[in-house]
């Protein structure tokens, strides 16, 4: 049965008007129980399924939330997808996942796709390349609410769910200091990302405030870069290291161990993490927890709030997520 039933088909069979069928199927109180039942029986018999494309057009609304991410990897974004799809499903929305592959142009295209499809809302983490926010503003001007997470504009003129990057890095270094570290290094992701900059600022400020010896900082967004950089720092005799992300942690730990350093006795490791990776290691690792699932849930929550008030007179809100210091102790 490739050709599907329509309300019209059913109306013909039931000998009633299409609108009666529509009402009956949606349990409209006006329709008599007999007619309702007879219509429902026919619908069931022929496995009728209302065409959402039609009803969406009719109501000019598409119960879809778009999730735009730079590029999915094993850390953080899977959790976000989890949080977003769950929260969206609960609120009656579907989720369309779009990847920008860290390219501004793809991000623009993806926003256009959202506009074309009249999605109800957009949850987005910006690509590395993104500088202008005209595409975002365009979506908003079209009445599509947008919530940022993780890689968000510094501008508070938007709805944002993020951590205090600078403070998190600062606190991470503080924990190294408290643990007695003297000479530390910082490993960061791609220098082009806003969060890299902010976390670096926090790191450097803390190093200065606490009078720690700085073995230097390094950038590199792949595990291997971090691995090599960590080896380099290990040679310099560090006793503490800050990792701005899981990717970086995943390079650091093997590097330190290959070098023969005991963690945390010879060198303490603290990072900002989604909270999964550290548990793969036996040596004590410390991390400030950036919960992707929660970020996703809150993003959807804020979105639904906006969607309830289409005029969007509500003022924008920047939600700062907690980043509790944790460890991988079993």
Partner DNA sequence: CTGTTAGCGCCTTCAC
Partner DNA sequence: GTGAAGGCGCTAACAG
For DNA, the binding residues (CB under 7 A) are 4, 6-8, 15-23, 25-26, 28, 30-32, 34-36, 50-51, 54-55, 57-60
Q: Give per-residue burial for 75-91: e unless 16+ CB within 10 Å, then b.
A: bbbebbbebbbebbeee
Helix H or strand E encompassing 147? strand 146-149
Cis peptide preceding 264, ω within 30 of 0: yes
DSSP letter for 282, please: S
Decide whether 17 or 155 has the Cβ nearer to DNA: 17
CB 166 to a second copy: min, Å: 27
Shortest Cβ 163–a second copy spacing (Å): 20
- Residue 40 as a binder of a second copy (CB under 8 A): the answer is no
Distance between CA 112 and CA 108 in Å, rounded? Answer: 6
Q: Which does 228 bind (CB under 5 to 8 A by kind): DNA, a second copy, none?
A: none
Within 13 Å of residue 130, how many CA atoms lie on the same side as its CB?
26
Q: Interface with a second copy includes 17 (CB under 8 A)?
A: no
Kindly state the helix (H) or strand (E) to which residue 326 belongs, with its residue range.
strand 325-327
Q: Compute the least distance from the CB of residue 25 to DNA, in Å.
A: 6
- Residue 324 contact among a second copy, DNA, none, beta carbon within 5 to 8 Å by kind: none
Nearest residue (CB) to DNA, 18 versus 284? 18
Look at the chain and count its residues.
330
CB-nearer residue toward DNA: 58 or 329: 58
Instruction: Decide: 111 and 139 in contact? Cβ < 8 Å.
Output: yes
Q: Which does 216 bind (CB under 5 to 8 A by kind): a second copy, DNA, none?
A: none
**99 phi and psi, to 5 degrees?**
-105, 135
Which region among 22-30, 114-122, 169-177, 178-186 touches a second copy (by CB under 8 A)? 114-122
* Structure-token match 């005029």, residue found: 311
Q: How far is the CB of 111 from DNA (least distance, A)?
A: 17
Residues 280, 319 contacting (CB under 8 angstroms):
no
Residues in contact with a second copy by CB under 8 A are 1-2, 4, 47, 49-54, 56-57, 60, 62, 64, 71-75, 77-78, 81-82, 85-86, 89, 94-99, 112-113, 115-118, 138, 141-143, 223-224, 227, 250, 253-254, 257-258, 276-277, 279-282, 310-311, 330
């Amino acid at each position: 049965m490739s050709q599907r039933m329509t309300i019209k088909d059913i109306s013909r069979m039931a000998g009633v008007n299409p609108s009666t069928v529509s009402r009956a199927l949606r349990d409209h109180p006006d329709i008599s129980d007999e007619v309702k039942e007879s219509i429902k029986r026919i619908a069931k018999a022929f496995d009728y399924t209302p065409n959402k494309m039609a009803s969406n057009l009719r109501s000019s609304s598409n119960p879809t939330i778009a999730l735009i991410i730079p590029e999915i990897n094993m850390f953080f974004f899977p959790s976000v997808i989890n949080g977003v799809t769950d929260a969206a499903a609960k609120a009656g929305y579907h989720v369309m996942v779009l990847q920008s592959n860290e390219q501004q142009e793809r991000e623009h295209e993806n926003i256009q796709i959202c506009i074309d499809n009249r999605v109800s809302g957009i949850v987005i983490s910006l690509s590395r390349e993104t500088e202008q926010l005209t595409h975002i503003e365009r979506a908003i001007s079209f009445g599509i609410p947008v919530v940022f997470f993780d890689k968000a504009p510094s501008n508070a003129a938007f709805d944002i769910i993020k951590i205090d990057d600078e403070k998190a890095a600062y606190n991470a270094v503080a924990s190294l200091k408290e643990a007695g570290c003297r000479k530390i290094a910082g490993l960061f992701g791609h220098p082009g990302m806003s969060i890299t900059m902010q976390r670096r600022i926090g790191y450097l400020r803390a190093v200065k405030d606490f009078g720690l010896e700085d073995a230097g900082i390094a950038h590199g967004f792949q595990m291997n870069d971090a691995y090599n950089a960590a080896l380099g720092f290990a040679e310099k005799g560090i006793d503490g290291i800050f990792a701005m992300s899981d990717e970086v942690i995943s390079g650091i730990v093997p590097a330190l161990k290959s070098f023969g350093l005991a963690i945390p006795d010879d060198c303490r490791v603290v990072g900002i993490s989604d909270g999964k990776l550290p548990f793969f290691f036996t040596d004590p690792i410390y991390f400030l927890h950036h919960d992707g699932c929660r970020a996703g849930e809150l993003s959807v929550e804020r979105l639904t709030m906006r969607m309830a008030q289409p005029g969007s007179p509500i003022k924008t809100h920047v939600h700062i997520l907690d980043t509790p210091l944790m460890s991988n102790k079993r």
